[in-house]
Amino acid sequence: MNRYLKKLLAEKILPGIVPVITAAVISLSASAEDRGSAVSGKCTLKRIHLSSSQSMDADHGPEMAFDENPETSWVSGKTGPQWIRADFETKRIMTSLRIRFGGDGVKNAAGYFILQFFHENAWFDFNKIDIARSFLFINMDRKTVDIDLGGVDASTFRLYFPEDSLKNGGASVSEIEIFAGTARIRYFDERLMGICLPVANALLPENDSSYPNSPRQYRGGWHSGLDIHCYRDPVLNATVPVSSSTPVRSIDSGTVLRADTEYRALTLAEWRKQSDYSRIVPTTFVKRSFGGMQVWIDHGNGVLSAYNHLSKIDPSVTRGKSVKKGQVIGWAGNSGSIEEAEGRARQGIHLHLEIWVDGFFLGYGMPVADVKKYFRWIFRNGKK
């Protein structure tokens, strides 16, 4: 192969092929969504597969017992015996379990349950645990049950509620906590619990392309944030598109690291030149990116947020200043987009929010289906 062909292959052909192949692999991975699962650890890829006999409705599925929030609950259906199961797919050292009841204001709906492990293609009873207690005819049902396993190496277990244990025809569990020694196995990152939506009453998008880790072939890379296009207007009781008059809020308290108060829009020629370059060289230093006018906030403890495509930044938001959770830092826009470069001021407006944890954007390396679950968990427990 002569020198010219080698250079052509290295600089033009391969960079165009690799993102396409990678995008196809990610697309296949994202389509294989599991029915009910939690992401274990600090934004990692390890899944814990969750299932149950029945769920009362979509808001009380088995993942509610593994969401780090004791105020939510899995609530079963009311037909026959009920169970909730966790499957790690591989060996898991466990020394104790803590089972919590009473989330969502649901009273204990069972008198007892049986902890079962799966072995040789069958369930066996490990321990029977009484929940219902009374003293002088006063109901004193246990809100928390601690189970000493004595050291178990297993991959799958379930809480089984026989039909005769059910008081009101159903079962409920608010949280299942698993321990290996003193270490509790985490499902979601608690540092992100309770942050607020960057747009009041924002609606999380249904399409995959609006989430982190979805392919962005037009610039040879990956999407690193969440795109918010609409919100629910409580006055109109209607879904409303984000506009340049829509306030953008800080998702948590922190310190401003960057505020593009002297932003200058790209011309159409500059935008196209940058786009053409990014298709070939997706990872490089970019002084003026497609993110447009931005604000970055350090929330401490390894968490940083970035707000892109703003139309305006609040004058009080400057580098080094402190901001509070829910404080307005700017307004949504389309800065950095092709619409701005072409002079279409009212088109393409949305907020691009990035959440960075320990130096990686939330969703890095994860199938988009799991990223969606993560964002639903974050904002379900935060300020609307």
pLDDT by residue (tens digit) across 94-104? Answer: 999 999 998 76
Domain C-terminal end among 125, 159, 188: 188
Looking at the fold, whether 172 and 229 belong to one and the same domain comes out as no
17 within some domain:
no
pTM: 0.73
| Domain membership flag for residue 2 | no
**30 within some domain:** no
Residue 312 exposed, middle or buried by CB count within 10 Å (0-12, 13-18, 19+): middle
Q: Does a structural domain hold residue 203?
A: no
How far apart are the C-alpha atoms of 346 and 344, rounded to whole Å?
Answer: 6
Q: How many structural domains are present in the chain? A: 2
Residue type at position 39? V
The CATH code of the domain that includes 79 is 2.60.120.260
Do 143 and 234 lie in one domain? The reply is no
42-46, 171-175, 182-186, 365-369 — most confident range: 171-175
Last residue of a domain, one of 123, 156, 188: 188
Q: Where are the alpha helices (DSSP H) in the chain?
A: 3-8, 14-31, 268-280, 338-341, 368-380
Residue with tokens 């149950």: 52
Cα 325 from Cα 312, distance rounded (Å): 19
Q: Produce one character per residue of 319-328: b if its CB has 16 or more CB atoms within 10 Å, e if not.
A: eeeebebbbe
Q: Are 176 and 84 in contact (CB under 8 A)?
A: yes
80-122 pLDDT, tens digit per residue, is 899 999 998 887 889 999 999 987 666 667 889 999 999 888 9
Percent of all residues in the chain with a pLDDT value above 70, rounded to a whole number = 80
Residue 382 contacts residue 299 (beta carbons within 8 Å) = no
Whether 130 and 111 have beta carbons less than 8 Å apart is answered as yes
pLDDT digits (tens, 9 = 90+) for 323-372: 999 999 999 999 988 898 899 989 999 999 999 999 889 988 888 888 88
Tens of pLDDT, residue by residue over 208-218, are: 989 988 877 65
Token pair of 37 as six digits: 């699962």
Q: Which domain holds residue 64?
A: 37-188
> Which pLDDT score is estimated for 83?
95
**Residue 313 in 3-state DSSP?**
strand
Asked whether residue 218 falls in the same domain as residue 335, the answer is: yes
Task: Please tell me whether residues 214 and 107 are part of one structural domain.
Answer: no
Give the domain CATH number at 360: 2.70.70.10
What letter would DSSP give residue 188? Answer: S
**In the predicted model, what is the mean pLDDT of the chain?**
83
Q: What count of Cα atoms within 13 Å lies in the side-chain half-sphere of residue 275?
A: 15
Which residue, 156, 188, 220, sits at the end of a domain?
188
E strand spans, 101-161: 112-119, 122-130, 134-135, 138-139, 144-161
Do 332 and 299 reside in the same domain of the chain?
yes
369 and 271 part of one domain: yes
